[in-house]
Chains A and B, each alone.
Chain A
């Protein structure tokens, strides 16, 4: 009769450690699988609708902060207004964002976000950087505890502000007379650029 195989405590511990490492690796790879990171933000399916002027001011102030170059604010305000009124999820996101950054600004500087100076606004928006690329265990824990909202703010407010900047004000700052989408006339293009 064969006896029960003897397995040492050391072997058991080793196997358990290996299993934990494999599970951790699996979870990590699942989190950061290329093209489908677990934290990919999405808009909620909430109704479109108007936002207040105060919310628009907060959004434009956020755009100014992330762009940190001279811009014409009016078309950013129009961009945010249109998306809130026409696309599901944006109004809710914008209102949550405005409330959250205003609370943080009150704690940091004692005033509303839009009324803060550039450095205070940048400090308030700091979590967006962290949400973009959470690599440490602490970052992941923070995301799981509620930091995911910042990933959505980053994706749908700050990233979109930079993209709008790239399509508009960046042209003027680079030396063009205007950006595509504005009536630039048929004379200037035949003369030497500024």
Chain B
């Protein structure tokens, strides 16, 4: 039975962290209210799949207008940071690739072991049980049997792995002869049926999986709502957090429905910010005591050390047809270079044989006059493989989220994102180039082209703006996500990362969210 006799925890943002916390709290009888700026986003994502694949239609119902979603940017990053974020119910992970990797024990201690970045206030052993629960929550398919570089685990993957594709097996054999291990990719997609989620049928439409085989946060949001203890306020923007006179206790949040013309206040005993590294930092900055007498006391750390992953890619051409993309999921990758002996002079690198057929089929019929011309343009793609170097960086305080001079519909400053590469990144790029050449040679590529350093892409992974730590002077939150100066105000998600490692962050986001949910249930 619902137990709404206690005040609800307020969660800002319905993405993968917010959804996990909402699900876990409601499952234990704690009411929650979620505030989500974006619109509804149906689950399973069948309508979105039909729009994209049957009707080739970019549905505006799933986009926020530019006076509600926006940011300004400076620096060298050439990607569209703003639209790497999907502001819909379920957040950016409604569109994610599903790759679900654990960080390694060394990733939590880079300062001690390698002399760069900072150490986390928790270690791998602290997080390991939560990694296991996160894999169970998301339904991760995988194995460590073929990956000698995987960190230890206390429980097996909940589902068997997606096997290497035929072409990846051939490349894996060639790499093995050159001393390189190519192994399967753990991912939050169902290799076989998992609970009420069906097994993957290889639609190759993973970011809008029509059957829910690839995990979406909306799966658990629906379950949280079904308890009767969770309300989702969609198309509602939280404008700031209010604290009591001392500033040590968050009392409420000020919000406005996107189409309304007046603010409302929602009182909450606990507030959790789970809007992603950019928007969570922005909301804290908008709520600063410097701006409002009843605001949140901040220490100058919030917004600093914005960290992306740096993805560089290259194309390798082969004599034989490779037919990449026969499996929509990812198959082969290598974790052999996450912790190279030279780590510290540069970052670690995860090497991934991409399932993507870049740049096909994204509109590549443009300018063709006949089907034959389309096929001629397609043919070379079948003999190429894209190799992606998923690279680690060292957090840099100059890379930051601040408040912009530009303002949204309500007059609130947007986030301003400043991002540049530094010398550490140049060294990592050079290391990655050497790896790329090594992979190309070992696999017998006829030729290979690696893209320039300026082409780096964040992978949509934005981290580090409210980093965790023990020292309130150089961190924003503690290891549970509680803001040092205001301990009933929490930040959940990649904003709290101390360092990015080289692996995809989502499983770590969920593991940390589970840990925070446990803490809230225990103490709240």
A185: interface (CB < 8 Å): yes
In the complex, the answer to whether A67 meets B370 with C-beta atoms within 8 Å is yes
Choose from B57, B165, B361, B375 the contact partner of A173 (Cβ within 8 Å). B375
Q: Are B54 and A184 in contact (CB under 8 A)?
A: no
B183-196 contact mask (Cβ, 8 Å, vs A): 1 or 0: 00000000100000
Kindly state the interface size class of chain A when it binds its partner.
35 or more
B49 touches A185 (CB 8 A): no
The interface residues of chain A lying within 8 Å CB-to-CB of B365 are: 159, 162-163, 165-166
B371 touches A175 (CB 8 A): no
Query: Would A180 and B203 be within 8 Å (CB), given that A129-B369, A164-B56 are in contact?
Result: yes
Q: Is A69 part of the binding interface, using a Cβ–Cβ cutoff of 8 Å? A: yes
Question: Shortest Cβ distance from A187 into chain B, in angstroms?
Answer: 9
B191: which A residues are within 8 A, CB to CB? 186
Contacts of A180 in B (CB 8 A): 53, 203-205, 325, 328, 361
Query: B73 CB to closest chain A CB, in angstroms?
Result: 23
Within 8 Å CB of B366, what residues of A?
A: 159, 163
Contact: A191 with B166, CB < 8 Å? yes
0/1 interface trace, chain A 23-66, chain B, CB 8 Å (1 if under): 00000000000000000000000000000000000000000001
**A87: B residues at CB distance < 8 A:** 57
**Residues on A with beta carbons closer than 8 Å to the beta carbon of B371:** 66-69, 71, 162, 165, 169-170, 173
Q: Report Cα–Cα, A166/B370, bound state, in Å.
A: 10
In the complex, the answer to whether A192 meets B166 with C-beta atoms within 8 Å is yes
Find out whether the CB atom of B49 lies under 8 angstroms from the CB atom of A174.
no
Complex CA–CA separation, A82 to B51 (angstroms) = 10
Judged by a CB distance under 8 angstroms, whether A190 is at the interface is yes
B202 near A170 (CB under 8 angstroms)? no
Bound CA–CA A190/B53 (angstroms): 24
CB proximity of B146 to chain A, nearest CB, Å: 15
* B window 350-387: CB within 8 A of A: 360-361, 363-366, 368-372, 374-375, 378-379, 382
Q: Which chain A residue lies CB-closest to B162?
A: A186
Identify which of A175, A179, A190 contacts B165 (C-beta below 8 A).
Answer: A190
B418 interfacial by beta-carbon distance below 8 Å: no
Q: Is there a chain A Cβ closer than 8 Å to B327's Cβ? A: yes
Could you say which residues of chain A place their CB within 8 Å of the CB of B234? Answer: none
Q: Do residues A174 and B382 form an inter-chain contact, with CB atoms below 8 A?
A: yes
Asked if residues B364 and A175 are in contact (CB atoms below 8 Å), the reply is no
Per-residue CB contact flags for chain A residues 134-164 toward chain B (1 = under 8 Å, else 0) read: 0000000000000000000000000110111
The reply to whether the CB of B201 lies closer than 8 angstroms to some CB of chain A is yes
> When the two chains form their complex, are residues A190 and B166 in contact, meaning their CB atoms are under 8 A apart?
yes
Which residue of A is nearest B379, CB measured?
A174
Q: Is the Cβ of A189 less than 8 Å from the Cβ of B378?
A: no
Q: Nearest chain-B residue to A122 (Cβ)?
A: B370
Instruction: Give chain B residues whose Cβ lies under 8 Å from the Cβ of A163.
Output: 56, 363, 365-366
Q: State whether the Cβ of B200 lies closer than 8 Å to any Cβ in chain A.
A: yes
- Bound-state CA distance A121–B448 (Å) is 44
Contact B56 A79 (CB under 8 A): yes
CA of A180 to CA of B427 in the docked complex: distance in angstroms?
38
Shortest Cβ gap from A63 to chain B (Å): 10
* Contacting residues, chain A, for B199 (C-beta < 8 A): 186
B321 beta carbon closer than 8 Å to chain A: yes
* B326 beta carbon closer than 8 Å to chain A: yes
What residue of chain A has the Cβ atom nearest to residue B169's Cβ?
A190
Q: How far is the CB of B204 from chain A (nearest CB, A)?
A: 3
The answer to whether B326 touches A160 (Cβ under 8 A) is no
B200 surroundings in chain A (CB, below 8 A): 186
Chain A residues with CB under 8 A of B327: 186, 189
B166 contacts A170, C-beta separation under 8 Å: no
B202 touches A162 (CB 8 A): no
Smallest Cβ-Cβ distance to B199: which chain A residue: A186
Bound-state CA distance A85–B362 (Å) is 25
Per the bound structure, the CA–CA distance linking A180 and B55 in Å amounts to 13
Taking a contact as CB atoms closer than 8 A, the residue among B54, B361, B374 that contacts A75 in the complex is B54
Interface pair B202/A185, CB less than 8 Å apart: yes
With both chains docked as a complex, state the minimum distance between the C-beta of A79 and any C-beta of chain B, in angstroms: 6
Q: Shortest beta-carbon distance, A136 to chain B, in Å? A: 19
Instruction: Name B239-265 residues within 8 Å CB distance of A.
Output: none
Residues of chain A lying within 8 A (CB to CB) of residue B166 = 189-193
Docked Cα-Cα span, A75 to B410, in Å, equals 44
CA distance in complex: A82, B59 (Å): 13
Report yes or no: A189 in contact with B165, Cβ–Cβ below 8 A. Answer: yes
Q: Which residue of B lies closest to A78 (CB)?
A: B54
Q: Collect the chain A residues with CB atoms within 8 Å of residue B325's CB.
A: 176, 180
Q: Does B323 contact A (CB under 8 A)?
A: yes
Query: Are A184 and B326 in touch, CB under 8 angstroms?
Result: yes
Interface residues of A in 73-87 (CB under 8 A from B): 75, 78-79, 82-83, 86-87
Q: Which of B55, B199, B321 has the most CB of A within 10 A?
A: B55
Q: Is A120 an interface residue (CB 8 A)?
A: no
Determine the chain B residues whose CB is within 8 A of the CB of A186 once the complex forms.
162, 191, 199-202, 327
B33-65 Cβ-contact flags toward A at 8 Å (1 or 0) = 000000000000000010011111100000000
What's the Cα separation between A69 and B54 when bound, in Å? 20
Q: Taking the complex as formed, is A5 at the interface, i.e. its CB lies under 8 A from any CB of chain B?
A: no
A179: nearest residue on chain B (CB-CB)?
A: B204
Query: How far, in angstroms, from A164 to B364 measured CA to CA in the complex?
Result: 10
Q: Is B202's CB under 8 angstroms from A184's CB? A: yes
A170 touches B374 (CB 8 A): yes
Q: Which residue of A lies closest to B323 (CB)?
A: A193
B110 to chain A: closest CB distance in Å? 37
B363 nearest CB neighbor, chain A only: A163
CB neighbours (8 Å) of A3 from chain B are none
Does B518 make an interface contact (CB < 8 A)?
no
Cα-based distance from A87 to B57 in the complex (angstroms): 10
Q: A129-B369, A174-B375 provided; 4 other pairs, C-beta below 8 A?
A: A67-B370, A83-B55, A183-B201, A185-B201
Pairs across A and B, CB under 8 Å, 17 listed = A67-B370, A67-B371, A79-B56, A87-B57, A164-B56, A165-B374, A170-B375, A176-B325, A180-B325, A183-B201, A184-B203, A186-B191, A186-B199, A188-B326, A189-B326, A192-B166, A193-B326
Residues of A within 8 A of B (CB): 66-69, 71, 75, 78-79, 82-83, 86-87, 129, 159-160, 162-167, 169-171, 173-177, 179-186, 188-193
